[in-house]
Chains A and B, each alone.
Chain A
Amino acid sequence: MDRWVNAFGISFAVTALLSAVLVVVKELNHGVFTWMAGLTGHHWVTHGVLQLLLFVVLGLILLGRAPVNKSTLVALVPGGLVLGSAIVAGFFVLH
């Protein structure tokens, strides 16, 4: 598997999980929510910018690292999306 696919695939999985965690944190912590809203004028815009920055920066950092097992990446990328979505949906069901 190509190193770009590896690096940004891992970056996607990590970013998806951290983004889902950030949803929970900002919804439960008014200070974080207000800080995010203050940065760009809307918490959701800040969320998107932070997520995109993390995806790009982490991907570039991982470019120089050793590739993961090919089968692992096949589990990581779809798994990151499914788990991240499940955390978000699960939180709003319970919240």
Chain B
Amino acid sequence: MSNQLFMMLHATFGVLAMLCGLWLFVETLNAAASNRRRIVAASLLLALFMWVTYVVGGSWYVDYYGAEKALIKAGPFPSAHGFFMETKEHVFLLLLLLATWLPIAVWRSPPATGGPARSLILWSSGLMVLGTLAMEGAGALVSLGVKMSLLPH
């Protein structure tokens, strides 16, 4: 049961992080002195949700993934592990660092000042959205790999 619970929490907090990335992107598009607090809040929540996603997903990965990995590798869709999981687990670490840096960036160089500060936050938050979406997609394909291995074939 805790296996499935960890997995659901991991995916849920990942989606919340993605939504905060999108929120940060939209607020930055309309950056002004009046929405500075919302920009800071979005960046802090993004970082928080990414760290929770990391801790929950990492615990699941270390404690439970070994058995599922063996199933996937023996099944009809081995690249669910060989490409999707391997790429996901390492690219996620890069996204985690970017999410950790973003609150520093929005606090110390408010995007409302325009120019490079705004571009930097827009690019970074936009890539966070795409990256976290890719992580969710890769997670779904890993689950599909397990399911395909368990189905009669």
Chain A interface residues toward B at CB < 8 A: 1-2, 4-5, 8-9, 12, 15-16, 19-20, 23, 41-42, 44-45, 47-48, 51-52, 55, 70-71, 73-74, 77-78, 80-82, 84-85, 88-89, 92-93, 95
Does A1 contact B86, Cβ atoms closer than 8 Å? Answer: no
Nearest B-chain residue to A69, judged by Cβ: B116
Nearest B-chain residue to A54, judged by Cβ: B97
User: Which residues 86-107 of B sit at the A interface, judged by CB distance below 8 A?
Assistant: 86-87, 89-91, 93-98, 100-101, 104-105
Give 10 closest A-B pairs by Cβ, nearest first: A2-B108, A70-B116, A78-B123, A5-B109, A85-B91, A92-B86, A88-B90, A2-B109, A4-B108, A92-B83
Does A74 contact B131, Cβ atoms closer than 8 Å? Answer: no
- The distance from the CB of B82 to the nearest CB of chain A, in whole angstroms, is 7
Nearest A-chain residue to B100, judged by Cβ: A55
Give complex CA distance A88, B82 in Å: 12
Contact partner of B93 (CB less than 8 A), chosen from A8, A19, A41, A42, is A19
Give complex CA distance A85, B119 in Å: 21
Tell me the dominant secondary structure on chain B's binding face: helix
Interface size on B, residues (CB 8 A): 32
Does B94 contact A74, Cβ atoms closer than 8 Å? Answer: no
Q: Does B56 interact with chain A (Cβ within 8 Å)?
A: no
Chain B interface residues toward A at CB < 8 A: 54, 58, 61-62, 82-83, 86-87, 89-91, 93-98, 100-101, 104-105, 108-109, 115-117, 119-120, 123-124, 127, 131
| Known A45-B58, A89-B87: A12·B98 in contact at CB below 8 Å | yes
Does A92 contact B124, Cβ atoms closer than 8 Å? Answer: no
A/B interface sample: 21 pairs, CB < 8 A = A1-B109, A2-B108, A4-B108, A8-B104, A8-B105, A12-B101, A16-B97, A19-B93, A19-B94, A41-B62, A44-B58, A44-B90, A51-B97, A55-B97, A55-B100, A74-B119, A74-B123, A81-B98, A81-B131, A82-B127, A84-B91
Q: Which residues does chain A contribute within 8 Å of B62, judged by CB atoms?
A: 41-42, 44-45
Tell me the dominant secondary structure on chain A's binding face: helix
Q: Which residues does chain A contribute within 8 Å of B86, judged by CB atoms?
A: 92
Give complex CA distance A56, B87 in Å: 24
